[in-house]
Amino acid sequence: MSKLKLYNYFRSSASYRVRIALHWKGLEFEYLPVHLVKNGGEQRSDEYRKLNPMAHVPTLVHGDYALPESMAILLYLERLYPQKPLFPKDEKAYGRAIQLCEIVNSGIQPYQNLKVTNDFEKAMSWSKDETHAWVQKWVVPGLQNLETVLEKSAGLHAVGDDVTAADAFIIPQLFSARRFKIDTTQFPVLTRIEKNALQLEAFKKAHPEAQTDYEK
């Protein structure tokens, strides 16, 4: 097997999702930091854009194949390395896990990412507090909706008692939410499954603070 490489950034929630998946499956990979702020954003370099025209992280590189988008990466890894599955065998649990991933991926994260918050601060001359307020307006109801789905689906983890891709999406989203000063204690199921996940080695290894490019 060609060695896996992960272009990513310690703080990016989408990067954190993929790190969870790689560590969960016990896959070795080369960690390649892409600093989203320094040098005008290293993700905007011509070199990086050849791997990922969207100029965001993460991108998985496997031999000569470059694959961006965390959901695509998780499903690709599952196909190639089915050990320690992240997608349930049962069809209904499978659908539910992907639904939870997408609430985070398309329903919450797009309204808090750096590209958007930077745009507001520049284009509308918003202060950090004004930007946080706008982000909170989208993220808090998103988390509330996650909580509502989880009330029925969760056991020890987001979908029943096994770790799934949904946990790999939800745990990083909670980390991001706190950066925007959102009080996550209002979500008892989310915080319960977070506590359970964070006890697992793969989630510890994937945590932003455990990465070589971590900055306070």
Minimum distance from residue 80 beta carbon to its own copies (Å): 6
Which residues lie below 8 Å from residue 192, measured CB to CB, with a gap of 6+?
154
Binding site for its own copies (CB under 8 A): 53-54, 56, 65, 67-73, 75-76, 79-80, 91-92, 94-96, 98-99, 101-103, 105-107, 109-111, 116, 119, 124, 137, 142, 144-145, 148-149
107 to 5, 103, 113, 177: CA distances (angstroms):
28, 5, 12, 14
Q: Which is nearer to its own copies, 1 or 199 (CB)?
A: 1
Measured in whole angstroms, how far is the alpha carbon of residue 57 from the centre of its chain? 10
CB of 18 to its own copies, least distance (A): 13
Cβ nearer to its own copies, comparing 143 with 202: 143
φ, ψ of residue 61 to 5 degrees: the values are -120, 130
Nearer to its own copies, 151 or 209 (CB): 151
- Rounded to the nearest whole angstrom, what is the least distance from the CB of residue 201 to its own copies in the complex? 26
First vs last C-alpha separation in the chain:
36
| Identity of the amino acid at 86 | L
127 vs 144, which CB is nearer to its own copies? 144
